[in-house]
Structure 1
């Protein structure tokens, strides 16, 4: 696409984490950006501060007149998270505007850049952010489109230096939702996991796996693939042609972590491969799963020639991603950690790590299920994973783009949860319950609007004696 012909870009769902990164990119190159989102959020407020015009009403009247009257020079970027009955979406479709999905636009932006694509049903946001930080801190000329707000840069977009003669490297979170990652052009690919998810899109786990194989097939003949050991086992193939294939995992694989030590604020481990051994690496984003993410990140840094000293510094200075094992509080009043986990495997990995960090203390988990279909499809898995906690508090399902399904609710998880304490609560009465219980180690989990409760909970804990 010739961006020069564009007078403006309008985003349907501009507050989405992936959408907002592209909106910021267009805003950076000087093309006016506006858009719609369902509700205001800290992120949309930040976009408005950066000069973007956002409406929160799905009506024709709230679309800027400059957009409605100039379809030849306007690009509409939309996400499948927008309901099909959206007034604005239907208007743009019926009037013949140039509509492109977020994934299409991201593919076009990155098509001419050397691309590191990080895919996986879990771990891709942290891994892509870690890769981007390690390369940038080592002085590489990088750009990054991420699926979360990095704590190091307080953004989901990192811009490369256009005056730098070194070919830029773009790090992209390759999202499997709606098959978005198949529109990318990776030169180096990471696959962190291939677990059943988004069955409302794929139908079954086999179809999801086939699409991950198609993603790998996007690599050129001289491409490089870093893949987690369990993910590799789930693929229906043994032949990867001329690709350079590197398997990684905890304790086994061509690239592995050994001598892992779980600390309260950090994990220490040795990076071991046939070519390189790096002892005593420090990762200040806790979690066994994050050690595994670090294996992929260190491997990519080595691939691009980053020195051992720069790798150690980049890893130790990585602050993580907002809502990914984000330690909100760790003091005499208690421990409070927030995480985006919304799949049984993510919950299991997260809770195991928290228990390893605080083995002698009661662990209370507040979980908000995300999507009716996901809750239905993985009900047993959710109940089993949540049972790792000593107390489980369930909130109502966050519907996102879905309509209710008869018989599917948070209560259906409760019966099979084997934690000593378990209960259902509304968002409205949660703070009152927590104030009475005053848990020693509290975690909040979910991909819905549970994030709106994080600061109120933290403020509540601050008042405890």
Structure 2
């Protein structure tokens, strides 16, 4: 039985807030704690949640029946300790998602990158076409300005998070695996162990279920399902791939080849060829569900993207500013390649904030190689998130491995001064990327650039 009174420790997180919205939609009393006020916590408050910003006894709700917490909250948290000492049921986000989706038809999208865009677009196609779904997203949909919605159709579209092995609590009816690149090695230890987790995730697909995976994944043959298809941007050996891809005025036009047919006339108003590939996966899922091709095509054309996924913040003749969540080397590589593909005539500057000391330590060389694709690189200090500083680990680890001579490290204050300084006459493309608090700098940078534009 679902609780009528539920408390979230870390309610402002993107995944946690989607669950909070679910319970608000069910008429439950929702409250929670987070360490800082954001536009997302403000939105939750407006929707009826009671949110506190001090880790103190004054922030607890003694009537809470369930307490949902994020691993990012320290075990010494006063709020968390209060509930633990009183024997209140403590659950991770994955535990709650497992309960919610226990008896539904589940479309679960997993992978080390691309999953937020594919999840959001899949859910958008189902909603736009009238098919209907309940959606738990890892980003804010540009079309609906939310990361959660529900419908009467007993179908859930869920972003399946590999962090902390959370996705191993889900039971997909249809599943997508986008990538299995090394990440979260603080959890898994080795790349092989991470790959094993994805193989285990595929093994949780329900009997008669269907798997769509990126063509050419390492150990892809070990991903088991009753039906297993693959997708690729251009490789005709994949079950699903694009043909006739061309860039047209900042958008992409293409057809989609699917088993036994062809879906024609697609237009995607979102930057980056990797997002065309993400569209192939979402369209293939919708096609598998029996949604008509014209309805899929119309939904894709109407898709406004996901906040912080190749999001245009500023577009003038002199400067284009793009904001993106990319925080893994392969995501950065795809982001920069896609941006330069769309804007080949502009010089490309990337402003990158590394996320986590452990990820920077483990992947410094890979970050350096990806960032070398840009014409100019500005690195911010590492955003620690849940981690304590590690001796010898800094943004300098990436800088010293780069070959691009136009690279430097800046403080946030120095970055704002740089954005307001006079620029040359050549048109520029500026990309701000990272999963930390760099998003708080996007609007101030945009304002200063716009004054100069």
TM-score interval, smaller chain: over 0.9
SS, match of residue 329 in structure 1: strand
Relative to 1, partners in 2 of residues 1:80 and 1:37: Cα closer, same or farther, differing over 3 Å?
same
Tell me which of 18, 22, 29 is aligned to 2:19: 22
Task: Report the TM-score, using the length of structure 1 for normalisation.
Answer: 0.94
Corresponding residue number in structure 2 for 1:339: 324
Shift of 1:159: 1.1
Tell me which of 208, 222, 227 is aligned to 1:222: 208
* Aligned counterparts of 1:402 and 1:320: Cα–Cα separation in 2: 31
Deviations 1:57-80 (A, max 9, x none): 11122213xx2xx4xx61100111
Q: Which moved more, 1:389-398 or 1:222-231?
A: 222-231
RMSD over aligned CA atoms reads 1.4
Shift of 1:7: 3.7
Structure 2 gaps of 5+ residues are none
Corresponding residue number in structure 2 for 1:164: none
Tell me which of 435, 439, 446 is aligned to 1:447: 435
Tell me which of 187, 206, 209 is aligned to 1:201: 187
Deviations 1:166-220 (A, max 9, x none): x421100000011111111210000011110000011111111111111111112
Tell me which of 29, 37, 41 is aligned to 2:38: 41
Q: Which moved more, 1:433-442 or 1:100-109?
A: 433-442
2:10–2:69 CA contact under 8 A, matched in 1: yes
SS, match of residue 463 in structure 1: helix
Q: Which moved more, 1:28-37 or 1:342-351?
A: 28-37
1:390–1:420 CA contact under 8 A, matched in 2: no
1:209–1:235 CA contact under 8 A, matched in 2: no
* Aligned counterparts of 2:266 and 2:228: Cα–Cα separation in 1: 24
Tell me which of 54, 61, 68 is aligned to 1:57: 54
Q: After TM superposition, list the pairs within 5 Å mapping 1:5-154 onto structure 2.
A: 6-64=3-61, 67=62, 70=63, 74-154=65-145
Tell me which of 138, 151, 156 is aligned to 1:160: 151
SS, match of residue 402 in structure 2: coil
SS, match of residue 267 in structure 2: strand
Deviations 1:147-166 (A, max 9, x none): 000001100001113xxxxx
Q: Which moved more, 1:357-366 or 1:378-387?
A: 357-366
2:4–2:27 CA contact under 8 A, matched in 1: no
* Aligned counterparts of 2:74 and 2:432: Cα–Cα separation in 1: 27
Corresponding residue number in structure 1 for 2:449: 461
1:264–1:358 CA contact under 8 A, matched in 2: no
* Aligned counterparts of 2:298 and 2:359: Cα–Cα separation in 1: 39
Shift of 1:437: 5.3
1:404 aligns with 2:389: yes
* Aligned counterparts of 2:258 and 2:93: Cα–Cα separation in 1: 37
Shift of 1:236: 6.3
Task: Report the TM-score, using the length of structure 2 for normalisation.
Answer: 0.96
Corresponding residue number in structure 1 for 2:243: 258
Corresponding residue number in structure 1 for 2:298: 313
Deviations 1:417-452 (A, max 9, x none): 222411110011211112225471100000000000
Shift of 1:264: 4.6
Shift of 1:28: 1.2
* Aligned counterparts of 1:372 and 1:236: Cα–Cα separation in 2: 33
* Aligned counterparts of 1:375 and 1:420: Cα–Cα separation in 2: 20
* Aligned counterparts of 1:367 and 1:261: Cα–Cα separation in 2: 29
Q: Which moved more, 1:418-427 or 1:405-414?
A: 418-427
Tell me which of 314, 321, 345 is aligned to 1:360: 345
2:112–2:181 CA contact under 8 A, matched in 1: yes
Structure 1 gaps of 5+ residues are 162-166
Q: Which moved more, 1:429-438 or 1:180-189?
A: 429-438
> What count of residue pairs does the alignment treat as equivalent?
448
* Aligned counterparts of 2:249 and 2:340: Cα–Cα separation in 1: 10
